[in-house]
């Protein structure tokens, strides 16, 4: 194998530089680049996707922060929490007679004429403020960490080194970096060994330990808020949207020794300088100069697990097992288990006017203190184990009055202050209404209740920009737990929970859990259509139903159709069959019966 | 204006912020004879630009009939007013000299500097004693950029942006001229002018005898400072693409522009896009390879805050409208006019209104009329007639009333959407609040005042508290909100159309009861609605099938495919705002005749031949409604005349609405009494009959002071006696109550006793 003259992993900037020089050498004029790519990202794309380099790229998270070296290639999974606009930087400049580039770097590596020279080109890049996906469950991290094996990375490094000895051009800097890298790897190994040992005993402990180990070095980081400032180059704006979950692969820069000027005397001016430096000094927020990014689907989080084939009997058996598990969790209430699984495949697939097609929120009623402590707790645990992002809101008067649910633009800092409802697409939100007591809501509380209601009805969250509000479409799976039917939060489906028996909680093997996760993620991503004949059947059924019961509204029909779609998806089918439609109707009938019975 | 911290070299002779007028203008004069100077890095000659500007200022006329140039007059005016700036319309520059315009936009720093010099020169020639420095302020550029599209190529160019102010800094005194004093000998230096954001502090005392080193100290109170303010502007919501957050841009405001806008204002700004190098830290001199962009301001104009104006492309703000915008608009207007000429425009608009809501065509037509509105009229005597049409929708749950409301709210200019349950009287009208800082009482507007000249959509009207509803009386007829609180007595305009929807009292509409009984609203309020629609869920297989088909399609097909030929929302909104703004139809004679005829006919309809009962089918309020509706219908066609067919359609609409709401279910005819009093004429007749029957029975059967009788016995008798119809216990009780007030009987629980 012919080695590359540079190391994409340890010295990505070297690689960038090399391609730049190559481009200049081949006759293109950097002055005309205007920030466009000259082949650097292609190189990295090839390295990452075609040459299987992806698995060698370390993740950036609090635990890896301690040993990942600046100016190396890292990847980061995160949700775009805020967009900080564009930043102008000196993209290309001349050092003497040679063109240099600053792309993918914070500072220039070569001395630069400070004042404007005609040979300085200003380019722009986008700043995205990314955070780990809210409500991300711990199993994702485990799977992601298990992906990265330090031993696998050190060997190619050594091999690289041998090749590079022949190459004198960029050797010096690289050597230095790689040496440090190797050193870091070994230190990491030690740390990792400790981590793995505790991992087997208890997952909770690892979490704490990770925080401890990271906080000792980096006082400002904790696991829940580990932000990263991602700088995006050459990407059309429409590709990256707020609340999208992305994988960013790029050059990591971080400066823990960066001086933070506390006694900033020039307050008047700096108060309005939208300087990301002052608000987010590099010592707190790591930077990532993004080379390659891609949107993550739920499957990507389970990439560590063996991929199953999409065979109907396999899907069926997994479905049965999962349903069985949920049924036992819910005290042998099969209907409830069925309805709960519905929300797992849920996806808002179209928006017509203000209607979000494909939403289905579930309200499980008849919870009281005892049942909640048993089933609610178990259900939460199960959800956490099955879904990538889960969130739970304990609704109480006090909570409603105090919490800020919606993201709000803070004009002091010119940032979007996140709210609890700023969730990634496909997050699961459980709202526990059982703790709600009688009380007075203040204006915040009223507003919050309204926001929640809007979310349930329209799948939209109104972001507060003080002078106006902006609707952001959301795609969140909702589950409401309440004593009686919730009137504050009108869900699409209301079902009284009827537990028959309380089984001892069973433990599920990790392998089985994995197959379930895979199943849920895959089913969710399936597209779904309906045949012409089936449409006719549906229409007839709906008309007949309406003739029989005048109180059926278009909302009921919508719900029924969504249920049909979900039943069919749960079998891994991409088109609705009569059988599944019947099943959906049967479920609805059972639900209604139970609703009647409970009244 | 041309700020001082410029990273770009300005031409030597032209520093715009040079305060010493005579010097800079002198330099300008000198330049005429000097060898040609060029704007740095280009082949633009300073002299050429100088001459071009002079020509423009001297000779530009808006039309050739004017003797004096537009800007000469403006300059004289500025001198008279002792102003300090001259506003120059960039369109004028373009019209007069396109080349100059291009240069100005591409090299604003340099060209504006020359502009200032020329201006000063001219001023000093007109009035040598005039000492103030006059700046040229350019506005109304031909192209307006979106904040999102600003990129490095815009740096150092003149750009124009629209946005909303979100934050203003405090006023920062910025040094312009510094004077130093020698600590050794007390010698004062000459004023030192700020050069590109820096003051070159003298290191040696300027006095020949002293020449002390490092002895100079700044004398604060002899320095000259200028006001500076940093304002941040953010994109308006309509420019933000889906899934994005608004972008912001900082503006540097100087002198007069300070405090022109406040947070929340929508503004249009013109300025020079600048990029400044970023220092690593405030204390560091080293620069990063980063630039911070901001807009150095030329002019800031407020566009109206309200949605109606901001989104109204036809709006002529401050009497200045760019011809470019004008052209664009003219095109648009042409298109709209073309649209209005379509023979089926009325149907087409109806179809385009909430295309996802099925049926309800007549309701939609009514809503369309509401959107377009009639003409408001105020007589010299002070009486005024509203032009706004109020509509009430009553109907079964699940008949997409709320969706209609939401849609109208979205479409209408200045729509406000509230829910009756969550609204209080003050929230709807206005309230007085105390400013926590100053203690001043301030008036805060509520939803109705805020939707002045718009539509206020009130959902769940029936669930509104009585006090809130009573406030609506004034709003819906007088169109004002009166406040008398805490030392403030005010009458605020609330020229708003109300679109309300209500659920029937028993959640489903009971066809056997009147509207009043179904929706528990006071008749006084009901009569103020021009149109009251009952949206009932009728059992009809056809409708059901269509609904089913629609929903299935919604779920399983691409929503775009199922769309029929409709006018899209922006066009509809543009159409609407143009009509509201520019079309003021008047009644034609023919139409007036038709109105009179129709009205009389409606009233006659109440008098059935051979019937003694008097049924009111129409009241003057209905006549007013009819006029409004026909005006609105003419407006829909962009017609300045209300024609007969409009009136006929208005009658039809009113009748459809009346038939649904004011039909007396006992007789099947329209009865306005149902709305105005809540009791239909036939019902009143029946009640009177029952009272007299009961009286007869009591007179016959019961002795004065004799034994009492039971209610049920009476009921039996009454049933026997009354010729037709059922007699209910409740009716009988009512009748007895009437008799009791007459002093004929006493009712104790179930027993009746004659006295």
| Beta-bridge partner residues of B727 | none
Residues spanned by the domain of A98: 12-256
Q: Is residue A241 part of a domain?
A: yes
Q: Fold identical between B345-537+562-582 and B586-676?
A: no
Pick the CATH number of B586-676 from 1.10.150, 2.60.120, 1.10.8, 3.90.1690: 1.10.8
Chain B residue numbers with beta carbons less than 8 Å from the beta carbon of A347 are none
Chain A residue numbers with beta carbons less than 8 Å from the beta carbon of B241 are 237-238
Rounded to a whole number, what is the distance in Å from the CA of A86 to chain B's nearest CA?
8
Q: Is residue A568 part of a domain?
A: yes
User: How far is Cα A385 from Cα A512, in angstroms, rounded to an integer?
Assistant: 11
**Which of A238-247, A507-516, B374-383, B435-444 has the lowest average pLDDT?**
B435-444
**For A368-394, b where at least 16 C-beta lie within 10 A, e where not — what string?**
eeebbebbbebbbebbbbbbbbbbbbe
What's the pLDDT tens digit per position in A117-170? Answer: 566 777 888 888 888 888 777 777 654 444 444 433 333 333 333 343 333 333
Let me know whether A520 and A530 are in one domain. no
Q: Is residue A455 part of a domain?
A: yes
Pick the CATH number of B21-142 from 1.20.1260.10, 3.40.50.720, 3.30.1640.10, 3.30.565.10: 3.30.1640.10
Rounded to a whole number, what is the distance in Å from the CA of B159 to chain A's nearest CA?
17
Which of B392, B400, B386 has the alpha carbon at shortest distance from B353? Answer: B400
For residue B352, what are the contacts with CB-CB under 8 A and spacing of at least 6? B566, B567, B568, B572
Kindly state the average pLDDT of the residues A356-360.
78
Interface of A with B in 362-421 (CB under 8 A): 409, 411-412, 414, 416
The answer, yes or no, to whether residue B696 has pLDDT greater than 60, is yes
User: How far is Cα B128 from Cα B131, in angstroms, rounded to an integer?
Assistant: 8
Let me know whether A443 and A328 are in one domain. yes
Let me know whether A158 and A21 are in one domain. yes
ipTM above 0.85 for this complex = no
Local confidence band at B670 (pLDDT 50, 70, 90 cut-offs): low
Report the residue count for chain A: 599
Let me know whether A473 and A509 are in one domain. yes
Is B248 within 8 Å of chain A by CB?
yes
Chain B residue numbers with beta carbons less than 8 Å from the beta carbon of A573 are none
Fold type of domain B152-311: OB fold (Dihydrolipoamide Acetyltransferase, E2P) (2.40.50)
Helix (H) and strand (E) counts in chain A = 19, 17
Chain A residue numbers with beta carbons less than 8 Å from the beta carbon of B247 are 83, 85-86
Half-sphere exposure of B659 toward its Cβ, with a 13 Å CA cutoff? 8
Note whether A122 contacts B275, CB cutoff 8 Å.
yes
Q: What percent of chain B has pLDDT over 90?
A: 0
Kindly state the average pLDDT of the residues A240-266.
67
Let me know whether A471 and A403 are in one domain. yes
DSSP type of residue A59 = B
Interface of B with A in 369-398 (CB under 8 A): 397-398
Integer Rg of chain B from CA: 37
Let me know whether A249 and A391 are in one domain. no
Helix (H) and strand (E) counts in chain B = 25, 27
Pick the CATH number of B345-537+562-582 from 3.30.420.40, 3.30.110.30, 3.40.50.300, 3.30.565.10: 3.40.50.300
| Beta-bridge partner residues of B293 | B275
User: How far is Cα B35 from Cα B750, in angstroms, rounded to an integer?
Assistant: 117
Q: Is residue A1 part of a domain?
A: no
Chain B residue numbers with beta carbons less than 8 Å from the beta carbon of A101 are none
Rounded to a whole number, what is the distance in Å from the CA of B204 to chain A's nearest CA?
27
Of A116, A473, A539, the CB nearest to B549: A539
Chain B residue numbers with beta carbons less than 8 Å from the beta carbon of A557 are 547-548, 551
Local confidence band at B645 (pLDDT 50, 70, 90 cut-offs): confident
Let me know whether A547 and A578 are in one domain. yes
Number of independent structural domains in chain A: 3
Let me know whether A553 and A422 are in one domain. no
Q: For residue B293, which phi and psi values (nearest 5 degrees)?
A: -100, 140
Note whether A259 contacts B237, CB cutoff 8 Å.
no
Q: Is residue A32 part of a domain?
A: yes
Rounded to a whole number, what is the distance in Å from the CA of A221 to chain B's nearest CA?
23
Interface of A with B in 134-193 (CB under 8 A): none
Let me know whether A44 and A88 are in one domain. yes
How much is the pLDDT for A474? 83
Higher pLDDT, B197 or A210: B197
Helix B729-742 crosses helix B681-701 at what angle (to 10 degrees)? 70
User: How far is Cα B304 from Cα B310, in angstroms, rounded to an integer?
Assistant: 6
Let me know whether A537 and A438 are in one domain. no
- Residue of A467, A471, A552 best to disrupt the B interface, most CBs of B under 10 A: A467
Chain B residue numbers with beta carbons less than 8 Å from the beta carbon of A237 are 148, 241, 244
Local confidence band at B107 (pLDDT 50, 70, 90 cut-offs): confident
Is A122 within 8 Å of chain B by CB?
yes
For residue A146, what are the contacts with CB-CB under 8 A and spacing of at least 6? A304
The three-class DSSP label of residue B453 is coil
Q: Is residue A280 part of a domain?
A: no
Of B7, B288, B553, the CB nearest to A107: B288
Note whether A350 contacts B278, CB cutoff 8 Å.
no
CA A252 to chain centre: 20
Locate the chain A residue with the closest alpha carbon to B398.
Answer: A553
Chain B residue numbers with beta carbons less than 8 Å from the beta carbon of A562 are 555
* CATH at residue A356: 3.40.50
CB atoms within 10 A of CB A290: 27
Is B560 within 8 Å of chain A by CB?
no
Of A108, A352, A465, the CB nearest to B554: A352
Note whether B552 contacts A535, CB cutoff 8 Å.
yes
Locate the chain B residue with the closest alpha carbon to A536.
Answer: B549
Is B327 within 8 Å of chain A by CB?
no
Rounded to a whole number, what is the distance in Å from the CA of A123 to chain B's nearest CA?
6
Q: Of the candidates A213, A237, A256, which is a domain's last residue?
A: A256
Local confidence band at B607 (pLDDT 50, 70, 90 cut-offs): low
Kindly state the average pLDDT of the residues B150-173.
80
The three-class DSSP label of residue A140 is helix
Local confidence band at B672 (pLDDT 50, 70, 90 cut-offs): low
CB atoms within 10 A of CB A123: 22
- Residue of B360, B551, B559 best to disrupt the A interface, most CBs of A under 10 A: B551
Chain B residue numbers with beta carbons less than 8 Å from the beta carbon of A90 are 289-291
Instruction: Write the burial class of residue A464 (CB in 10 Å: 0-12 exposed, 13-18 middle, 19+ buried).
Output: buried
Fold type of domain B681-754: Arc Repressor Mutant, subunit A (1.10.10)
Is B152 within 8 Å of chain A by CB?
yes
Is A124 within 8 Å of chain B by CB?
yes
- Residue ranges per domain, chain B? 21-142, 152-311, 345-537+562-582, 586-676, 681-754
Chain B residue numbers with beta carbons less than 8 Å from the beta carbon of A450 are 422
- Residue of B168, B233, B552 best to disrupt the A interface, most CBs of A under 10 A: B552
**For B547-567, b where at least 16 C-beta lie within 10 A, e where not — what string?**
bbbbbbbbbbeebeeeeeebb
Higher pLDDT, A355 or A405: A405
Chains A and B: how many Cβ contacts under 8 Å? 198
Is A279 within 8 Å of chain B by CB?
no
Note whether B556 contacts A358, CB cutoff 8 Å.
no
Higher pLDDT, B394 or B302: B394
Contact A90, A122 (CB under 8 A): yes
Local confidence band at A380 (pLDDT 50, 70, 90 cut-offs): confident
For residue B391, what are the contacts with CB-CB under 8 A and spacing of at least 6? B366, B367, B370, B497, B498, B499, B500, B529, B530, B531, B532, B533
Tokens of B320: 């200045």
Kindly state the average pLDDT of the residues A490-518.
77
The answer, yes or no, to whether residue A274 has pLDDT greater than 50, is no
CA B481 to chain centre: 18
| Beta-bridge partner residues of A469 | A464
Is B289 within 8 Å of chain A by CB?
yes
Is B242 within 8 Å of chain A by CB?
yes
Note whether B245 contacts A553, CB cutoff 8 Å.
no
B15: alpha, beta or left? (left if phi > 0; alpha if psi -120 to 50): beta
Is B554 within 8 Å of chain A by CB?
yes
Q: Of the candidates A506, A524, A542, which is a domain's last residue?
A: A524
Q: Is residue A283 part of a domain?
A: no
Locate the chain B residue with the closest alpha carbon to A81.
Answer: B245
The three-class DSSP label of residue B409 is helix
Q: Is residue A266 part of a domain?
A: no
How much is the pLDDT for B631? 85
| Beta-bridge partner residues of B58 | none
How much is the pLDDT for A315? 80
Of A35, A411, A565, the CB nearest to B555: A565
Q: For residue A199, which phi and psi values (nearest 5 degrees)?
A: -55, -45
Contact B672, B662 (CB under 8 A): yes
- Residue of A82, A255, A268, A453 best to disrupt the B interface, most CBs of B under 10 A: A268
What's the pLDDT tens digit per position in B221-265? Answer: 888 888 888 888 888 777 777 777 788 888 888 777 777 777 777
How much is the pLDDT for B19? 39
How much is the pLDDT for A263? 40
Note whether A357 contacts B554, CB cutoff 8 Å.
yes
CA distances from B623 to A327, B17, B532, B669 (A): 66, 67, 15, 19
Most trustworthy range by pLDDT among A587-596, B40-49, B743-752: A587-596
Rounded to a whole number, what is the distance in Å from the CA of B545 to chain A's nearest CA?
6
Let me know whether A242 and A369 are in one domain. no
Q: Of the candidates A256, A271, A287, which is a domain's last residue?
A: A256
Please measure the distance between the N-terminal and C-terminal CA atoms of chain A and give it in whole angstroms: 74
Rounded to a whole number, what is the distance in Å from the CA of A419 to chain B's nearest CA?
15
Tokens of B671: 């009865």
The answer, yes or no, to whether residue A31 has pLDDT greater than 50, is yes
Let me know whether A502 and A538 are in one domain. no
Kindly state the average pLDDT of the residues B616-643.
80
Of B234, B289, B293, the CB nearest to A102: B289
């Amino acid at each position: 194998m012919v080695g590359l003259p540079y190391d994409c992993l340890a010295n990505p900037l070297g690689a960038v530089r090399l391609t730049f020089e190559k481009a200049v050498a081949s006759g293109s004029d950097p002055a005309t680049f205007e920030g466009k790519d000259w082949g650097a990202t292609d190189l990295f794309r090839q390295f990452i996707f075609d040459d299987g380099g992806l698995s060698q790229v370390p993740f950036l998270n609090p635990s890896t922060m301690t040993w990942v070296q600046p100016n190396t290639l890292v990847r980061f999974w995160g949700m775009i929490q805020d967009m900080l606009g564009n930043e102008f930087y000196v993209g290309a400049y001349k050092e003497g007679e040679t063109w240099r580039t600053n792309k993918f770097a914070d500072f220039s590596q070569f001395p630069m004429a400070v004042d404007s020279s005609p040979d300085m080109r200003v380019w722009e890049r986008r700043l995205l403020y990314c955070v780990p996906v809210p409500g991300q469950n711990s199993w994702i991290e485990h799977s992601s960490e298990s992906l990265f094996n330090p031993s696998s990375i050190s060997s190619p490094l050594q091999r690289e080194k041998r090749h590079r000895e022949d190459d004198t051009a960029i050797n010096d800097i690289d050597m230095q970096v790689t040496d440090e890298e190797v050193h870091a790897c070994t230190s990491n190994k030690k740390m990792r060994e400790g981590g793995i040992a505790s991992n087997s005993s208890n997952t909770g402990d690892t979490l704490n330990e990770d925080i401890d180990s990271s906080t000792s070095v980096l006082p400002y980081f904790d696991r829940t808020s580990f932000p990263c400032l991602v700088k995006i180059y050459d990407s059309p704006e429409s590709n990256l949207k707020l609340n999208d979950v992305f994988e960013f692969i790029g050059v990591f820069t971080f400066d823990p020794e960066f001086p933070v000027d506390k006694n900033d005397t020039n307050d008047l001016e700096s108060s309005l300088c939208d300087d990301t430096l002052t608000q987010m000094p590099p010592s707190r927020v790591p930077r990532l100069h993004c080379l390659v990014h891609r949107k993550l689907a739920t499957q990507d989080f389970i990439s560590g697990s063996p991929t199953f084939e999409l065979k109907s009997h396999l899907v069926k058996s997994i479905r049965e097992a999962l349903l069985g598990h949920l049924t036992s969790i819910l005290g042998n209430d099969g209907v409830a288990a069925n309805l709960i699984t519905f929300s797992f495949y849920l996806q808002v697939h179209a928006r017509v006017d203000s209607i979000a097609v494909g939403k289905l929120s579930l309200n499980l009623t008849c919870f009281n203190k005892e049942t909640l402590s048993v089933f609610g707790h178990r259900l939460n645990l199960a959800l956490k184990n099955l879904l990538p992002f889960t969130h739970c809101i304990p609704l109480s008067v006090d909570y409603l009055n105090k919490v800020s649910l919606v993201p709000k633009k803070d004009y002091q800092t010119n940032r979007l202050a996140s709210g609890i409802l700023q969730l990634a697409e496909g997050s699961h939100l459980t709202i526990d209404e059982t703790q709600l007591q009688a009380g007075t809501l203040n204006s915040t509380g009223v507003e919050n209740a309204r926001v929640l209601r809007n979310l349930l009805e329209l799948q939209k969250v109104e972001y507060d920009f003080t002078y106006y509000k902006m609707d952001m479409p959301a795609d969140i799976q909702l589950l409401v737990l309440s004593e009686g039917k919730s009137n504050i939060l009108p869900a699409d489906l209301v079902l009284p929970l009827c537990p028959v028996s309380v089984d001892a909680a069973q433990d599920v093997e990790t392998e089985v859990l994995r197959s379930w996760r895979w199943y849920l993620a895959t089913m969710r991503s399936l597209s779904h259509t309906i045949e012409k004949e089936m449409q006719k059947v549906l229409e007839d059924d709906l008309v007949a139903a309406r003739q029989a019961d005048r109180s059926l509204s278009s909302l009921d029909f919508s719900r029924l159709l969504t249920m049909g779609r979900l039943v069919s998806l749960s079998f891994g089918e991409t088109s609705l069959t009569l059988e599944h439609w019947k099943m959906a109707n049967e479920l609805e009938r059972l639900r209604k019966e139970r609703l009647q019975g409970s009244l | 204006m041309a700020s001082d911290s410029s990273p770009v070299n300005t031409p030597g002779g032209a520093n715009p912020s040079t305060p010493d007028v005579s010097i800079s203008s002198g330099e300008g004069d000198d330049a005429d004879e000097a060898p040609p100077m060029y704007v740095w890095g280009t082949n633009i000659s300073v002299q050429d630009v100088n001459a071009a500007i002079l020509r423009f200022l001297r000779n530009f006329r808006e039309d050739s009939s004017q003797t004096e140039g537009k800007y000469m007059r403006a300059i004289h005016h500025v001198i008279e007013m002792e102003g300090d700036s001259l506003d120059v319309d960039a369109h004028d520059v373009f019209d007069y000299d396109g080349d100059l315009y291009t240069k100005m936009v591409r090299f604003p720093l340099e060209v504006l500097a020359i502009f200032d010099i020329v201006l000063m020169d001219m001023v000093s020639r007109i009035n040598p004693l005039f000492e103030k420095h006059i700046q040229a302020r350019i506005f109304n550029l031909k192209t307006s950029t979106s904040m999102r599209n600003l990129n490095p190529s815009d740096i150092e160019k003149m750009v124009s942006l629209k946005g909303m102010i979100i934050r203003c800094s405090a006023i920062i005194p910025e040094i312009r001229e510094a004077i130093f004093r020698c600590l050794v000998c007390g010698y004062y230096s000459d004023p030192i002018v700020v050069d590109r954001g820096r003051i070159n502090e003298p290191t040696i005392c300027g006095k020949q005898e002293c020449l002390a080193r490092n002895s100079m100290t700044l004398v604060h109170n002899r320095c000259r400072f200028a006001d500076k303010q940093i304002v941040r502007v953010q994109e308006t919501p309509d420019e933000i693409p889906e899934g994005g957050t608004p972008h912001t841009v900082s503006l540097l405001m100087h002198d007069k522009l300070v405090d022109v806008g406040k947070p929340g204002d929508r503004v249009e700004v013109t300025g020079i896009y600048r990029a400044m190098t970023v220092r690593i830290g405030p204390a560091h001199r080293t620069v990063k390879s980063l630039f911070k962009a901001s807009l150095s301001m030329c002019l800031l104009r407020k566009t109206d805050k309200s949605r109606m104006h901001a989104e109204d492309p036809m709006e002529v703000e401050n009497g200045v409208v760019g011809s470019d915008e004008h052209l664009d608009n003219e095109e648009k207007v042409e298109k709209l006019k073309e649209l209005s000429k379509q023979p089926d425009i009325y149907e087409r608009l109806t179809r385009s209104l909430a295309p996802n809501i099925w049926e309800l065509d007549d309701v939609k037509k009514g809503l369309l009329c509401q959107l377009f509105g009639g003409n408001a009229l105020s007589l010299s005597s002070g009486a005024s007639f509203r032009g706004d049409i109020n509509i009430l929708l009553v109907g079964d749950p699940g008949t997409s009333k709320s969706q209609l409301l939401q849609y109208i709210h979205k479409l209408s200019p200045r729509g406000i959407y509230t829910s009756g349950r969550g609204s209080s009287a003050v929230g709807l009208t206005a309230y007085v609040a105390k400013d926590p800082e100053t203690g001043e009482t301030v008036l805060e507007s509520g939803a109705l005042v805020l939707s002045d000249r718009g539509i206020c959509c009130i959902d769940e009207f029936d669930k509104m508290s009585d006090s809130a509803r009573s406030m609506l009386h004034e709003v819906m007829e007088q169109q004002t909100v009166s406040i008398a609180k805490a030392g403030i007595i005010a009458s605020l305009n609330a020229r708003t159309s109300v679109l309300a929807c209500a659920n029937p009292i028993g959640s489903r509409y009971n066809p056997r009861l009147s509207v009043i009984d179904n929706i528990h609203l006071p008749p006084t309020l009901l009569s103020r609605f021009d149109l009251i629609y009952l949206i009932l869920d009728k059992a009809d297989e056809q409708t059901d099938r269509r609904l089913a088909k629609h929903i299935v399609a919604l779920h399983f097909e691409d929503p775009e495919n199922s769309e029929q030929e409709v006018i899209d929302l922006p066009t509809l909104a543009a159409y609407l705002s143009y009509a509201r703004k520019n079309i003021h139809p008047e009644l034609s004679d023919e139409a007036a005749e038709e109105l009179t005829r129709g009205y009389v006919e409606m009233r006659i309809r109440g008098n059935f031949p051979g019937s003694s009962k008097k049924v009111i089918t129409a009241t003057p309020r209905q006549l007013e409604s009819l006029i409004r509706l026909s005006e609105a219908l003419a407006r829909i066609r962009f017609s300045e005349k209300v024609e007969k067919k409009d009136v006929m359609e208005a009658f039809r609409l009113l009748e459809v609405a009346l038939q649904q709401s004011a039909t007396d279910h006992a007789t099947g005819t329209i009865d306005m009494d149902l709305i105005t009093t809540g009791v239909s004429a036939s019902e009143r007749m029946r009640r009177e009959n029952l009272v007299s029957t009961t009286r007869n029975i009591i007179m016959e059967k019961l002795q004065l002071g004799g034994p009492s009788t039971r209610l049920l016995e009476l009921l039996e008798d009454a049933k026997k006696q009354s010729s037709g119809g059922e007699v209910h216990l409740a009716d009988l009780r009512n009748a007895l109550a009437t008799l009791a007030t007459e002093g004929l009987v006493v009712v104790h629980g179930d027993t009746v006793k004659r006295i």
